[in-house]
């Protein structure tokens, strides 16, 4: 074994081998993979080997498509068969709600280049002869489904990597990992030590244990998973003989089942409701090529449905039941990327669909390590989407919920209850008493809307029980004054003598003067967005940044990567140490004036001013800005004062008819201002010109901000895309995001978010289209639940296009 390597990859499952292959293919050949046993000794060897392109997140779906297309290449490179059978498959819907969901999947496929087609149950039965068409209301055909040999694929990656110069050391167990003072990693094994610049934790079932070696508690948990293999079935033999083809894959979402042919019989797997975690606290090191005891009672309810939906199963025997563990992150997507605070330590774990995602994970991670950027939008699988709040108990609750809902419909207005409430602010019970219906962002409870007694969310693809109430909350703001809780924003304090110069380099905007705020896009070296903030200059107190709450860890990782070594800049994520309230609407100033003794006139506190004042008895930082696009204030207050500030504002607001509004109303309000938001409109694949944030970029400022050259080039060349707002001729449903935008009969763009703008009484969609058609006003259509709706470009904001209200 070599004593030094650029990279040590820990784990010889499908994921580790893919990472090794991709590193070598990108030219890093001084790389070694350490496997404690034979390759595939974790969850990989007993996988059912299914692969598919669909995923709830379109960017992950793209990487799944990449993975499936890669198998041919690694087979050729390695000379190792992967056993890929691209049979195609059918996705089945037994209810109308499921069919609506599948139509959304078909629509997404159109701009992802995934060929999906809605078909009738009868047509599905013609493709997959074992299903009973009477049990289904519709189906979708996917030509890119299939299955493969898990061991063959893993060895193909490893052999291809070796051919490119990488090394694989089997029977080499990593026992400890220690960071040296010079930043290099000592990887200590049962066979000696390797010193490496980078370490990749691809430990699969043991990823948690490998993480603990460096003091990291990763939010992953293994679950038991069962599939059965039947005896040979005459129906299968007859079909094979008649068509010369295998029986295609099927996913029966309502039965929570997946099926495929296995030799002369069938394989049926299920995500049962009565699921069971495995080795909740510690994965035993002596676990290897063994299976867990099957528990047929646990999967009996799913099998019952399966035998009804696929009647031929009633006449066959079960040859074998496989029960094996594999790992999940709380939301079911992988955990990939560099770990904040551990330079050179990377993770590629929690990969629950290694044969659909392993290639994409390897590609993104190797890009990231070598180029400094994953090269794709991988937010949905970035390890930084979790923080310390994702504790072991939280992870346990969430993974179990996610497993049991793996094939369930998740409606756009559905909030999942497990692991909640976890983080709450001091006004939580006050807002609950007013009917707050809660959602969650980065572990923190967030009020979505306020329900009258006896009303709650009815989950639906269409406008639902909250519609009238959200309309009322919007009217409260636009016609008078509303109050909302905004603690879920991420808040940062930047101090030190080097702070101004550092911010000037980190952010693309011009720095505001003392007492003023500005919108602050943050770019990567390639000129694409990596953040959008409100930056405030608090003069002698330093600088204050507010940004997307879900991206706190993501942004802190970026900030810390770029911090100066001389200690002249300090940045702190304030998290729940600072809570927030916002008052907005034409009467917002009247309310504030009554709640404080400070002068809040337009002259004293103009638009984008910020300063300290007491609200009631509570000391607050008040900035005149509002995401509602109305006259409004964001009020930042220490948690111990939040109740007092809230009560003072509510009391002051009584005479002005103040009412509470939640984030759904805020969405309706910001849409009619064409305001984008992080992780929707603003993502690391769009440039500021494309995203319409170029007016906040100080292209001409002296500071050489990160991404400046690329942003200037984008401005010169014009970029490729444009973010636009559309008014959709919708009936009873609004876009939620990821719907295709048609122009002139072809899919040309995609929706990033949208909803109903209650004040303007319009259904609004925001989305990206190619710049060549970005100034057309007509000819657009947006596909919603399987139907194309006419859409008109809305260039100027629907509300207050001249900013009179905001600046009043
Ligand atoms: C019953 C079942 C059916 C499945 N069906 C499918 C399917 O149809 N399609 C699909 O895509 N996925 C399926 N999966 C999931 C799939 O198996 C996983 O996504 C995949 O195996 C994850 O691979 P991995 O490399 O991350 O982890 P693992 O396979 O667990 O690999 C981790 C490796 O790291 C090694 N290791 C750990 N710690 C150390 C250490 N300290 N030193 C050295 N080596 C170490 C282990 O020995 C192991 O070989 C199924 C899983 C199960 C259990």
Cβ of 565: how many Cβ atoms within 10 Å? 5
* Residue 738 confidence (pLDDT) above 90: yes
Give pLDDT, residue 697.
Answer: 98
CA–centroid distance, residue 287 to ligand 1 (Å) = 12
Pocket probe for ligand 1: among 47, 199, 228, the residue whose CB has the most ligand atoms within 8 Å is 47
Q: CB-based contacts of 363: which residues, under 8 Å, 6+ apart?
A: 22, 63, 66, 375, 376
Region of residue 698 (left: phi > 0; alpha: psi -120 to 50; beta: else):
beta
Ligand 1 site, residue 386, Cβ cutoff 6 A: no
Q: Is the pLDDT of residue 111 over 90?
A: no
Sign, CA torsion 231/235/240/245: negative
Query: What is the model's pLDDT at position 59?
Result: 87
Nearest to 374 by CA among 191, 526, 262, 187: 526
Q: What is the pLDDT of residue 130?
A: 97
In the predicted structure, residue 217 carries a pLDDT above the cut 90: yes
Residue 55: pLDDT over 90: no
The pLDDT value given to residue 481: 98
The 10 Å Cβ neighbour count of residue 640 is 10
- For helices 58-78 and 150-163, give the axis angle rounded to 10 degrees: 70
Gyration radius from the chain CA atoms: 27
Q: pTM for this structure?
A: 0.97
DSSP character at residue 682: B
User: Residue 354: CB within 6 Å of ligand 1?
Assistant: yes
Does the pLDDT at position 57 exceed 90? no
Q: Whose CA is nearest to atom 14 of ligand 1?
A: 47
Distance CA 489, CA 739 (A): 27
Residues sharing a CB contact under 8 Å with residue 717, sequence separation 6 or more, in sequence order: none
- Report, as an integer, the average pLDDT of 584-601: 98
Does the CB atom of residue 719 touch ligand 1 within 6 A?
no
> 723, 690 in Cβ contact below 8 A?
yes
299, containing H or E segment: helix 296-309
Whether a cis peptide bond, with omega within 30° of 0, leads into 604 is no
pLDDT, tens only, 751-791? 999 999 999 999 999 999 999 999 998 899 999 988 999 99
Q: Counting every residue, how long is the chain?
A: 808
pLDDT digits (tens, 9 = 90+) for 644-655: 999 999 999 999
- pLDDT band at residue 410, thresholds of 50, 70 and 90? confident
Which whole-number Å values give the CA distances from 609 to 67, 440, 512, 537, 801, in the listed order?
Answer: 50, 30, 10, 9, 21
Q: What is the pLDDT of residue 751?
A: 97
Q: How many CA atoms lie within 13 A of 733 on its CB side?
A: 23
* Per-residue model confidence as pLDDT tens digits over 317-359: 999 999 999 999 999 999 999 999 999 999 999 999 999 999 9
- The answer on pLDDT for 408 being more than 90 is no
CB-count exposure of residue 68 (10 Å: 0-12, 13-18, 19+) = buried
H or E stretch covering 127: helix 121-127
What is residue 785's predicted lDDT score, i.e. its pLDDT? 87
Measured from the CB, is residue 36 less than 6 Å from ligand 1? yes
Closest C-alpha to ligand 1, atom 47:
41
Residue 500, CB half-sphere, CA atoms under 13 Å: how many?
Answer: 13
Nearest CA to ligand 1 atom 32: 204
CA distances from 677 to 532, 604, 697 (A): 8, 29, 17
Measured in angstroms, how far is the CA atom of residue 537 from the centroid of ligand 1? 49
pLDDT band at 590 (very low <50, low <70, confident <90, very high): very high
Q: Is the CB of 411 under 6 A from ligand 1?
A: no
pLDDT of residue 786: 86
For the chain, the average pLDDT equals 96
Model confidence at 562: pLDDT above 90: yes
Does pLDDT of 289 surpass 90? no
Q: Where are the alpha helices (DSSP H) in 578-707?
A: 588-595, 639-653, 663-671
> For 227-278, what is each residue's pLDDT tens digit?
999 999 999 999 999 999 999 999 999 889 999 999 999 999 999 999 999 9
Please state the atom number of ligand 1 nearest to the C-alpha of residue 227: 1
362 lines ligand 1 (CB under 6 A): no
């Amino acid at each position: 074994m070599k004593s030094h390597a650029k990279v040590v990859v820990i784990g010889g499952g499908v994921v580790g081998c893919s990472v090794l292959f991709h590193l070598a293919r990108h030219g890093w050949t001084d790389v070694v993979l350490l496997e404690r046993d034979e390759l595939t000794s974790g969850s990989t060897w007993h996988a059912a080997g299914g692969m598919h392109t669909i995923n709830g997140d379109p960017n992950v779906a793209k990487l799944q498509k990449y993975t499936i297309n890669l198998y041919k290449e690694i087979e050729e490179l390695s000379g190792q068969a992967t056993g890929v059978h691209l049979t195609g498959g059918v996705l089945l819907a037994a209810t109308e709600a499921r069919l609506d969901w599948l139509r959304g999947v078909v629509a997404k496929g159109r701009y992802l280049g995934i060929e999906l087609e809605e078909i009738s149950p009868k047509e599905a039965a013609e493709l997959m002869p074992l299903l009973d068409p009477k049990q289904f209301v519709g189906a979708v055909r996917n030509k890119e489904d299939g299955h493969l040999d898990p061991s063959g694929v893993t060895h193909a990656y490893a052999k291809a990597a070796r051919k490119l110069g990488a090394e694989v050391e089997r029977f080499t167990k990593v026992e400890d990992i220690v960071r040296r003072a010079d930043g290099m990693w000592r990887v200590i094994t049962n066979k000696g030590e390797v010193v490496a610049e980078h370490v990749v934790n691809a430990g699969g079932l043991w990823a948690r244990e490998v993480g603990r070696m460096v003091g990291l508690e990763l939010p992953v948990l293994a679950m038991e998973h069962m599939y059965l293999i039947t005896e040979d079935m005459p129906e299968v033999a007859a079909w094979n003989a008649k068509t010369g083809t295998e029986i295609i894959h099927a996913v029966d979402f309502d039965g929570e089942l997946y099926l495929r042919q296995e030799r002369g019989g069938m394989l049926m797997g299920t995500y049962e409701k009565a699921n069971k975690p495995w080795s909740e606290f510690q994965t035993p090191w002596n676990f290897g090529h063994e299976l867990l005891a099957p528990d047929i009672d646990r999967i009996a309810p799913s099998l019952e449905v399966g035998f009804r939906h696929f009647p031929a199963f009633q006449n066959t025997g079960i040859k074998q039941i496989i029960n094996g563990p594999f790992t999940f992150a709380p939301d079911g997507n992988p955990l990939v990327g560099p770990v904040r605070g551990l330079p050179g330590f990377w993770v590629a774990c929690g990969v629950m669909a290694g044969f659909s995602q392993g290639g994409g994970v390897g590609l993104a991670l190797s890009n990231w390590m070598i180029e400094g950027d994953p090269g794709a939008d991988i937010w949905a699988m970035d390890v930084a989407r979790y923080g310390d709040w994702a504790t072991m108990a939280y992870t346990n609750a969430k993974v179990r919920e996610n497993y049991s809902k793996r094939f369930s419909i998740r409606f756009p207005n559905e909030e999942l209850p497990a692991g909640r409430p976890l983080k709450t602010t001091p006004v939580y019970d006050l807002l609950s008493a007013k009917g707050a219906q809660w959602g969650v962002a980065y572990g923190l409870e967030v009020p979505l809307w306020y329900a009258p007694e006896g009303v709650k969310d009815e989950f639906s693809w269409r406008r639902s029980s909250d519609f009238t109430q959200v309309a009322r909350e919007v009217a409260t703001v636009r016609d008078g004054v509303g109050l909302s809780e905004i603690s879920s924003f991420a808040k940062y304090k930047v101090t030190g003598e080097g702070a101004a110069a550092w911010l000037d380099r980190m952010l693309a905007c011009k720095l505001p003067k003392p007492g003023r705020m500005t919108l602050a896009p943050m770019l990567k070296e390639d000129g694409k967005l990596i953040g959008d903030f409100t930056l405030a200059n608090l003069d002698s107190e330093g600088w204050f940044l507010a940004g997307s709450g879900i991206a706190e860890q993501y942004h802190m990782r970026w900030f810390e990567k770029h911090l100066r070594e001389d200690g002249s800049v300090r940045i702190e994520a304030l998290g729940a140490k600072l809570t927030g309230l916002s008052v907005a609407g034409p009467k917002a100033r009247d309310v504030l004036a009554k709640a404080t003794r400070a002068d809040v006139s337009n002259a004293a506190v103009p638009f984008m001013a910020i300063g300290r004042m007491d609200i009631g008895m509570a000391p607050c930082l008040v900035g005149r800005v509002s995401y509602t696009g109305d006259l409004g204030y964001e009020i930042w207050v220490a948690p111990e004062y939040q109740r007092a500030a809230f009560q003072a504002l509510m009391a002051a607001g009584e005479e002005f008819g103040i009412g509470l509004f939640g984030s759904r109303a805020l969405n309706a309000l910001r849409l009619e201002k064409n305001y984008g938001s992080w992780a929707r409109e603003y993502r690391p694949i769009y440039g500021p010109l494309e995203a319409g944030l170029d007016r906040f970029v100080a292209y001409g400022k002296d500071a050489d901000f990160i991404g400046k050259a690329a942003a200037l080039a984008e401005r010169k060349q014009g970029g490729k895309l444009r973010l636009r707002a559309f008014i959709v001729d919708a009936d009873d449903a609004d876009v939620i995001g990821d719907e295709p935008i048609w122009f002139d009969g072809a899919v040309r763009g995609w929706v990033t978010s949208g909803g109903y703008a209650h004040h303007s009484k319009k259904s609004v969609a925001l989305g990206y289209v190619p710049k060549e058609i970005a100034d057309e006003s007509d000819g657009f259509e947006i596909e919603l639940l399987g139907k194309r709706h006419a859409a008109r470009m809305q260039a100027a904001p629907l509300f207050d296009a001249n900013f009179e209200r905001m600046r009043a």
